Amino acid sequence: MLVIEDLQVELAGKQILKHIDLEIKPGETHILFGPNGSGKTSLLMTIMGYPQYKVTAGKITFKGVDITHMPINERAQLGIGMAYQRPPTIHGLKTRQMVKICAGNGDDVDPEALARQVDFVDFLDRDVNSGFSGGEIKRSELLQLLAQNPDLMLFDEPESGVDLENIALVGNTIAKLLQKECSPTDLKSMLQLKRERTKMGLIITHTGHILEYLTADKGQVLYNGVLSCADNPRDILRCISEMGYEECVRCAIANN
């Protein structure tokens, strides 16, 4: 479980996150909406542990461990992974090597088999993100998460820049990573499948396209660094589309 309590964060001397409380239980997927510059990426980067995001108050706990000041590599080892909005190009490191690093057990992983899942075999021998298109970067990020297989996955706008054909690939891969793709069988009910899920997800989206591929448990709006308006993500999306962010965070949904 991820628990964030009264978190305050500064970036370059400016307060960007204010009194954030958030709890993601095993098996849950949460959706994060919010206008440009409201602090969504900052929240994910803080959970991942980037030191430029300075925690000035509050606490982050994951699997019962206080990770508030834990370095990134230790958070990754504990089971947190992230698909970035704009990951850097890494010259001199092949995607194939990166997959092995993410898997943490170099020789056991089969990069081809994982890459096939996101139609990325042809990119394995290219430097990480070197000349990749926007959509290719998203698939590269998913490949790394498939290799790492973390327990908590943070996705920063996974559908942005992805074409209409690849959006299904991206959506279905995220659903699979989050154990959401299973359909009920004679042996297992929907409720049983839900109970057995352990993976946690936090997904930033502007369009909500990802909701066509997986069921999310909760949506929230981050506005001016403040989290508000926890509700069904589809209702939040409808509210934002019809009335805009400002009205939405006045909790129009709750009042209707």
Ligand X SMILES: Nc1ncnc2c1ncn2[C@@H]1O[C@H](COP(=O)(O)OP(=O)(O)OP(=O)(O)O)[C@@H](O)[C@H]1O
- Name the minimum Å distance from CB 85 to ligand X: 6
DSSP H helical ranges for the chain: 40-48, 72-78, 95-103, 111-117, 134-148, 164-177, 190-196, 233-249, 252-255
Helix (H, G, I), strand (E, B) or coil at 139: helix
**Residues making contact with ligand X (CB under 6 A):** 11-12, 16, 34, 36-42
DSSP percent split of the chain into helix, strand, coil, nearest 5: 40, 25, 35
CA distances to 92, 166, 192, 198 from 178, in Å: 31, 18, 16, 8
Q: Please identify, using beta-carbon distances, which residue of 136 and 157 lies nearer to ligand X.
A: 157
Q: Please identify, using beta-carbon distances, which residue of 39 and 81 lies nearer to ligand X.
A: 39
- Name the minimum Å distance from CB 44 to ligand X: 8
Closest alpha carbon to 50 in 94, 10, 77 = 10
Q: Please identify, using beta-carbon distances, which residue of 34 and 233 lies nearer to ligand X.
A: 34
- Name the minimum Å distance from CB 219 to ligand X: 15
Summary count for the chain: helices (H), strands (E): 9, 12
Q: Would you say 103 and 148 are in contact if contact means Cβ atoms under 8 Å apart?
A: yes
- Name the minimum Å distance from CB 210 to ligand X: 15
- Name the minimum Å distance from CB 88 to ligand X: 14
Q: Please identify, using beta-carbon distances, which residue of 95 and 220 lies nearer to ligand X.
A: 220
Q: Please identify, using beta-carbon distances, which residue of 38 and 144 lies nearer to ligand X.
A: 38
How far is residue 80's CA from residue 76's CA, in Å, rounded to a whole number? 5
- Name the minimum Å distance from CB 128 to ligand X: 22
**Amino acid occupying residue 192:** Q
Q: Please identify, using beta-carbon distances, which residue of 38 and 173 lies nearer to ligand X.
A: 38
Q: Please identify, using beta-carbon distances, which residue of 135 and 225 lies nearer to ligand X.
A: 225
Rg, the chain, Cα only: 18
Q: 164 exposed, middle or buried (CB, 10 Å; 0-12, 13-18, 19+)?
A: exposed
- Name the minimum Å distance from CB 245 to ligand X: 11
Q: Would you say 171 and 159 are in contact if contact means Cβ atoms under 8 Å apart?
A: yes
